[in-house]
């Protein structure tokens, strides 16, 4: 059978399997398996799968995932998220859509302690959604804002995805982490401005405006976030620890905060077990989605599909900046059904040399690449953040979560355009702090 | 036409990849397009540590294998992997070829156990000791945190350093922030490609000689399925590599990377001869003896016999060794 | 079948504790390593490799709990709109396909584990860390997950569990 036809059938199969409610990892794995069997044979597939489950998990660079999620889980159990939301509410709660903005600010703050988008969305969603619903917010705006806010988790350092990009392309991981900072702030600002526009006709209750003294006092209550921020980023920046080690130490610090906090001591055993267990199941879910995506992307790599597409774009003779633009746009269809890690593994071997070969800054492209991948976290049909929010807010159907996230996809495109046309926003901080 | 997948765990600009690319290009050209090779670099098809299983099971047809990644699977081949024993990388290549022909357990390991045809032996040229701060003696390595992998960790420990295992992607940042004082076990080309000299510009030749042998293999069933003419092309290409092509390609690549490294601020130096001798005495023959005692003997391999063959091969080829180290190239520029 | 399901849940509960122990180990051991490096200038030998093995144990011993806690993501957008008997049938099919995926992984993983054990495979480094035991655990975790997913499908097909756990939660 023709490889183009096999590819189309395999991609189609993903959508069919997802539509009938097959777990996502199985839909990806079986579609990939179908493609591999059609282009090679069953024994080829079975040989390939021998070491795949083990080697997918036995990967030191991925150990940051459970560690940062665990840190987030402890912080959540220690009510860090609730306090942070309380602080953010004092600052912006009186504005139109103020609670949604508070949720986004909370995400930005929590992102500074969590390396994972899913963990950020889950933690902030658990505190912000009930508050927004109580205030009479449109559930789509409530769910969409926290699902989208979660993407800040992989942009504002620490970030699993920024490090992953650095490892794949051999650019400096430290530079990538620092480069995420300013675009993270910009994303936050665009989200807040966009929320104000979306919510301008919002009739929901606003919080009373708080005085400056009250705002500052409230801010002091969120000291734990500052401590975790200092431990993680300070540790990495001062050269005391590697990112994985920062994750372990941050998790242990959050664990101590939980054990020592007044809220945490009540039912401590249950809280600990819950933190460990939810971290385990989230890690399994992420890893299995990666294994499924790994099988599917193995098929795509074997068939050399992304190469063919990327090479076609590169060889088309269009101007360099347009080439980069088209390559980035490619992430939207890919992001509909592939996870960010797989997308990077598949595409970067072709895209990265192309983009750097055209003379563009690898850090600038890296941040844009991460931004495009994070959009995939909130686009249907496979959007990890939206799944998590639908899991937390069981009254809002998944379709409404995706609908709410659409507004934020539009805002993300605005941010990407700004970053695309003004590279200095991305490159200024890393170049200033770490040299070119 | 035959379509083959060449599956490499390293990037296409890594040291041995220059040798592999020449071989693949020539194979395609000389077979008149009858053999086509799809190339998968940097673990894009199979991941690090999966390549041996893949070529054995036939999910890839050709691959580059560094024995360090498969310690339990290639115990005999590990008997070829030594620092402070073979001065020049082209000598090491010929030593590996000869011992492969002479020592039956080594051939069995590849031909029977892993069902592979050895296309040619290759290696990772030279591994500089990359340090943030300058050093003048082996004594200066004491207590320094140095990233190493595989047998390189053993060398670091024997020289008095603290071996820190670390994923390759974290190395630059760890150097930058001072988690590491140095790096050992990256070949010169890779060290420059990773831009380690931006943080740690002091590259030392510590007298360790050639770095890490590797071997490019083809699945045996696939090789036997090639036409006699194409098999002959593979044999001819291997002989050309052994006959000087290897040295020629590597000398050109190393020269390019030396120029690049010097332009970007690297300082290529050599420790004094007395210090090199001191380092050699700390590492050899203890390291080789440890392999004989802890790996070869338990696996029922006559380790002493293999090492004797290696010694004889070194004596045979060392006088003609000519592939220059980076520090020598820099001096002659 | 309900007895079998309960037995599987008990086993998965036991496996979860193994996963939690390795997760805790990762957090504590890596911290200890950093402290050791700072205080006595020496890394803990073999820890790097043990961290990778811990990750394997967290993932494959935590598989059971992930199914019990409904941790695997599914899209129920379309099936929710269907009549109950149809959505039940499709959900059961979905879990049979999940079981098929686990089987597709479990069989080769078992071959790999057998090979790994036969050569007593270890990871390189200054210190030899055996890895064959984690490969055996990988295969075991996958077989267990396959069985668990099949029983889960049967429980849904026969109406003992709601096709979408969210519905049972909202009742
Ligand atoms: Na973050
Ligand atoms: Na998506």
Do C75 and A277 make contact, defined as CB atoms within 8 angstroms? no
Å from CA of A337 to ligand 2 middle: 5
Which-ligand-closest: CA of A375? 2
pTM, full prediction: 0.80
Å from CA of A115 to ligand 2 middle: 19
Confidence of residue C170 (pLDDT cuts 50, 70, 90): very low
CB-based contact B298:B160 (threshold 8 Å): no
Closest alpha carbon to A281 in A414, A388, A197, A124: A388
Chain A residue at shortest CA distance from C135: A54
Residues of B engaging C, defined by a Cβ cutoff of 8 Å: 53, 68-69, 71-73, 143, 145, 148-150, 153-154, 157, 162-166
Nearest to A282 among C71, C77, C98 (CB): C71
C20 to chain A: which residues are within 8 Å by CB?
273, 276-277, 280
Residues A31 and A77 in one domain: no
Closest alpha carbon to A111 in A63, A148, A141, A58: A148
- For residue A428, being part of any structural domain is answered with yes
pLDDT, position B178:
79
Residue B328 in contact with partner chain A when CB distance is under 8 A: no
Tokens of B17: 């990849």
Give C20 to chain B, closest Cα distance, Å: 25
The A residues from 50 to 79 touching C (CB cutoff 8 Å) are 50-54, 57-60, 62-63, 66-67, 70
Q: Is A390 helix (H, G, I), strand (E, B) or coil?
A: helix
- Exposure string (b/e) for B11-37, b if CB count within 10 Å is 16 or more? bebbbbbbbbbbbbebbbebbeeebeb
- For residue A426, being part of any structural domain is answered with yes
Q: What is the mean pLDDT of residues B214-223?
A: 96
Do C43 and B150 make contact, defined as CB atoms within 8 angstroms? no
CB-based contact C113:C139 (threshold 8 Å): yes
- Exposure string (b/e) for B244-275, b if CB count within 10 Å is 16 or more? ebbbebbbebbbebbeebbeeebebbbbeeeb
Which-ligand-closest: CA of A110? 1
Which-ligand-closest: CA of A387? 2
pLDDT, position A287:
84
Residues A25 and A92 in one domain: no
- Residue by residue, DSSP assigns A26-53 as HHHHHHHHHHHHHHS-HHHHHHHHTTHH
pLDDT, position C151:
96
Residue B178 in contact with partner chain A when CB distance is under 8 A: yes
Residues A299 and A321 in one domain: no
Q: Is A22 helix (H, G, I), strand (E, B) or coil?
A: coil
pLDDT digits (tens, 9 = 90+) for C8-57: 999 999 999 999 999 999 999 999 988 887 787 666 777 888 899 999 99
Give A277 to chain B, closest Cα distance, Å: 28
Residues A160 and A14 in one domain: no
CB-based contact A139:A202 (threshold 8 Å): no
What are phi and psi for residue A388, nearest 5 degrees?
-65, -45
Closest alpha carbon to A103 in A199, A226, A182: A199
Question: Given the structure tokens 């609730």, which residue do they identify?
Answer: A82
Sheet strands side by side (includes B162-164)? B162-164, B145-147, B182-183, B129-131, B202-205, B267-270
pLDDT, position C49:
83
Tokens of A69: 């999620």
Nearest to C43 among B68, B72, B164 (CB): B164
Å from CA of A115 to ligand 1 middle: 4
Give C4 to chain A, closest Cα distance, Å: 22
C93 to chain A: which residues are within 8 Å by CB?
20-22
Chain A residue at shortest CA distance from C82: A20
CA distance A359 to A119: 36
Tokens of C115: 């090979």
Q: Is B164 helix (H, G, I), strand (E, B) or coil?
A: strand
Residues A219 and A358 in one domain: yes
Do B73 and C121 make contact, defined as CB atoms within 8 angstroms? yes
Residues A40 and A119 in one domain: no
Residues A158 and A222 in one domain: yes
- Which ipTM score applies to this complex? 0.82
Tokens of A202: 């919002």
Give B170 to chain A, closest Cα distance, Å: 7
Q: What is the DSSP letter of B210?
A: B
- For residue A284, being part of any structural domain is answered with no
Residues A54 and A111 in one domain: no
Chain A residue at shortest CA distance from C95: A22
Which of B53, B177, B182, B199 should we substitute to test contact with A (largest number of A Cβ atoms within 10 Å)? B177
Å from CA of A160 to ligand 2 middle: 18
Which of B46, B47, B165, B184 should we substitute to test contact with C (largest number of C Cβ atoms within 10 Å)? B165
The neighbours of chain A, by the rule of 3 or more Cβ pairs under 8 Å, are: B, C
| pLDDT at B53 > cutoff 80 | yes
Residues A96 and A122 in one domain: yes
Which-ligand-closest: CA of A157? 1
Do C79 and A276 make contact, defined as CB atoms within 8 angstroms? no
Torsion sign, CA atoms B219, B225, B229, B230: negative
| pLDDT at B40 > cutoff 70 | yes
Å from CA of A114 to ligand 1 middle: 5
- Residue by residue, DSSP assigns B93-154 as HHHHHHHHHH-HHHHHIIIIIS-EEEEEEEE--B-PEEESS---SGGGGTT-EEE--THHHH
The domain boundary, picked from A255, A275, A303, lies at A303
The domain boundary, picked from A274, A303, A332, lies at A303
Which-ligand-closest: CA of A381? 2
Do A170 and B193 make contact, defined as CB atoms within 8 angstroms? yes
Do B177 and A238 make contact, defined as CB atoms within 8 angstroms? yes
pLDDT, position C168:
36
Find the range with the poorest average confidence among A106-120, B133-147, B183-197. Answer: A106-120
pLDDT digits (tens, 9 = 90+) for C47-67: 888 899 999 999 999 999 999
CB-based contact A358:A329 (threshold 8 Å): no
Tokens of C59: 């993932």
Q: Is A394 helix (H, G, I), strand (E, B) or coil?
A: coil
Closest alpha carbon to B148 in B159, B139, B134, B133: B159
Q: Is A238 helix (H, G, I), strand (E, B) or coil?
A: coil
Do B72 and C119 make contact, defined as CB atoms within 8 angstroms? yes
Chain C residue at shortest CA distance from A241: C34
Low-confidence spans in chain A with pLDDT less than 50: none
Chain B residue at shortest CA distance from C112: B53
pLDDT, position A436:
57
- Exposure string (b/e) for B122-155, b if CB count within 10 Å is 16 or more? bbbbbbbbbbbeebeebebbeebbbbbbbbbbbb
Residues A125 and A210 in one domain: yes
Q: What is the DSSP letter of A233?
A: I
Range of the domain at A40: 1-58+290-303
Please state at what angle helix A42-49 crosses helix C84-118, rounded to 10 degrees. 70
CA distance B289 to B293: 6
B50 to chain A: which residues are within 8 Å by CB?
51-52, 55
Residues A49 and A198 in one domain: no
Q: What is the mean pLDDT of residues B81-106?
A: 96
Residues in Cβ contact with C52 at an 8 Å cutoff, skipping those fewer than 6 apart:
A58, A59, A60, A63, C123
Residues in Cβ contact with C114 at an 8 Å cutoff, skipping those fewer than 6 apart:
none
pLDDT, position B298:
84
Count of structural domains within chain A: 2
Chain C residue at shortest CA distance from A50: C108
- For residue A275, being part of any structural domain is answered with no
The B residues from 115 to 174 touching A (CB cutoff 8 Å) are 166-170, 172-174
- For residue A277, being part of any structural domain is answered with no
Which of C125, C127, C134 should we substitute to test contact with B (largest number of B Cβ atoms within 10 Å)? C125
pLDDT digits (tens, 9 = 90+) for C122-159: 875 556 789 999 999 999 999 999 999 999 999 999 98
Residue B73 in contact with partner chain A when CB distance is under 8 A: no
């Amino acid at each position: 059978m023709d490889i183009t036809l096999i590819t189309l059938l395999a991609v189609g199969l993903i959508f069919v399997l997802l539509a009938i409610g097959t777990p996502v990892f199985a839909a990806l794995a079986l579609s990939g398996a179908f493609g591999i069997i059609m282009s090679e044979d069953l024994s080829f597939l079975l040989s390939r799968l021998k070491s795949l489950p083990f080697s997918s998990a036995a990967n030191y660079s991925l150990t940051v995932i459970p560690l940062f999620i665990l840190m987030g889980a402890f912080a959540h159990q220690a009510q860090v998220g609730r306090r942070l939301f309380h602080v953010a509410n004092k600052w912006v709660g009186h504005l139109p859509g103020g609670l949604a903005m508070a949720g986004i600010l909370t995400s930005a703050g929590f992102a500074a302690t969590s390396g994972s988008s899913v963990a950020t969305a889950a933690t902030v969603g658990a505190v912000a959604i009930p508050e927004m619903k109580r205030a009479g917010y449109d559930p789509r705006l409530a769910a969409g804002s926290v699902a989208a806010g979660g993407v800040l988790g992989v942009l504002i350092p620490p970030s699993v995805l920024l490090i992953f990009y650095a490892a794949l392309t051999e650019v400096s991981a430290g530079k990538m982490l620092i480069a995420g900072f300013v675009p993270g702030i910009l994303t936050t600002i665009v989200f807040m401005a966009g929320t104000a526009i979306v919510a301008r006709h919002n009739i929901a209750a606003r919080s009373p405006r708080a005085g400056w003294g009250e705002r500052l006092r409230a801010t002091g209550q969120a000291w734990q976030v500052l401590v975790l921020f200092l431990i993680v980023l300070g540790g990495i920046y001062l050269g005391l620890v590697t990112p994985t080690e920062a994750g372990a130490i941050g998790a242990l610090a959050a664990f101590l905060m939980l054990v020592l906090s007044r809220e945490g001591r009540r039912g401590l055993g249950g809280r600990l077990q819950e933190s460990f267990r939810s971290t385990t199941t989230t890690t399994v879910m992420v890893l299995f989605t990666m294994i499924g995506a790994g099988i599917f992307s193995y098929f795509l790599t074997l068939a050399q599909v992304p190469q063919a597409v990327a090479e076609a774009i590169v060889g088309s003779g269009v101007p360099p900046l347009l080439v980069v633009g088209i390559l980035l746009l490619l992430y939207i269809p890919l992001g509909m059904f592939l996870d960010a890690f797989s997308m990077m593994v598949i595409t970067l071997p072709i895209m990265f040399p192309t983009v750097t070969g055209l003379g563009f800054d690898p850090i600038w492209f890296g941040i844009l690449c991460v931004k495009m991948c994070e959009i995939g976290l909130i686009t249907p049909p496979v959007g990890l953040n939206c799944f998590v929010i639908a899991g937390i807010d069981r009254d809002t159907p998944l379709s409404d979560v995706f609908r709410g996230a659409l507004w934020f996809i539009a805002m993300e495109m605005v941010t990407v355009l700004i970053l695309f046309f003004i590279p200095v926003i991305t490159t200024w901080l890393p170049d200033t702090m770490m040299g070119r | 036409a035959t379509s083959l997948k060449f599956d490499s765990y390293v990037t296409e600009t890594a040291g041995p990849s220059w040798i592999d690319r020449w071989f693949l290009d020539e194979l395609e050209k000389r077979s008149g397009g009858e053999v086509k090779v799809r190339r998968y670099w940097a673990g894009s098809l199979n991941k690090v540590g999966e390549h041996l299983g893949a070529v054995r099971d036939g999910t890839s047809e050709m691959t580059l294998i560094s024995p360090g990644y498969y310690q339990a699977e290639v115990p005999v081949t590990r008997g070829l992997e030594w620092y402070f024993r073979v001065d020049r990388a082209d000598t090491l290549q010929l030593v590996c070829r000869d011992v492969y022909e002479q020592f039956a357990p080594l051939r069995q390991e590849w031909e029977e156990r892993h069902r592979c045809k050895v296309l040619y032996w290759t290696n990772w040229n030279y591994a500089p000791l990359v340090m943030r701060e300058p050093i003048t003696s082996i004594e200066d390595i004491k207590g320094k945190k140095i990233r190493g992998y595989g047998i390189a960790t053993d060398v670091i420990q024997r020289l008095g350093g603290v071996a820190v295992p670390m994923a390759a992607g974290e190395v630059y940042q760890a150097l930058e922030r001072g988690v590491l004082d140095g790096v050992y076990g990256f070949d010169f080309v890779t060290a420059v490609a990773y831009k380690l000299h931006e943080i740690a510009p002091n590259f030392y030749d510590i007298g360790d000689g050639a770095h890490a042998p590797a071997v490019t293999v083809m699945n045996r069933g696939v090789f036997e399925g090639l036409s006699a003419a194409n098999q002959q092309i593979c044999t001819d290409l291997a002989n050309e590599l052994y006959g000087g092509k290897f040295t020629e390609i590597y000398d050109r690549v190393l020269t390019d990377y030396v120029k690049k490294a010097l332009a970007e601020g690297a300082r290529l130096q050599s420790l004094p001869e007395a210090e090199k001798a001191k380092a050699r005495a700390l590492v050899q023959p203890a390291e080789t003896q440890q392999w004989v005692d802890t790996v070869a003997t338990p696996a029922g391999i006559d380790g002493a016999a293999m090492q004797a063959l290696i010694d004889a091969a070194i004596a045979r080829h060392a006088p003609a060794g000519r592939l220059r180290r980076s520090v020598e190239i820099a001096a002659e520029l | 079948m309900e007895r079998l399901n309960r037995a599987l849940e008990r086993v998965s509960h036991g496996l979860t504790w193994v996963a939690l122990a390795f997760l805790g180990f990762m957090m504590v051991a890596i911290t200890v390593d950093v402290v050791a490096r700072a205080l006595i200038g020496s890394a803990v030998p073999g820890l790097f490799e043990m961290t990778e093995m811990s990750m394997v144990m967290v993932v494959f011993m935590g598989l059971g709990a992930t199914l019990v806690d409904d941790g695997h993501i599914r899209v129920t957008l379309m099936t929710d709109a269907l009549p109950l008997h149809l959505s039940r049938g499709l959900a059961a099919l979905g879990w049979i396909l999940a079981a098929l995926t686990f089987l597709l992984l479990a069989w080769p993983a078992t071959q790999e584990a057998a090979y790994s054990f036969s050569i007593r495979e270890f990871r390189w480094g200054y210190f030899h860390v055996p890895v064959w035991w984690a490969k055996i655990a990988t295969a075991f975790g996958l077989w267990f997950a396959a069985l668990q997913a099949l029983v889960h499908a049967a429980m849904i097909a026969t109406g003992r569990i709601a096709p979408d756990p969210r519905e049972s939660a909202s009742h």
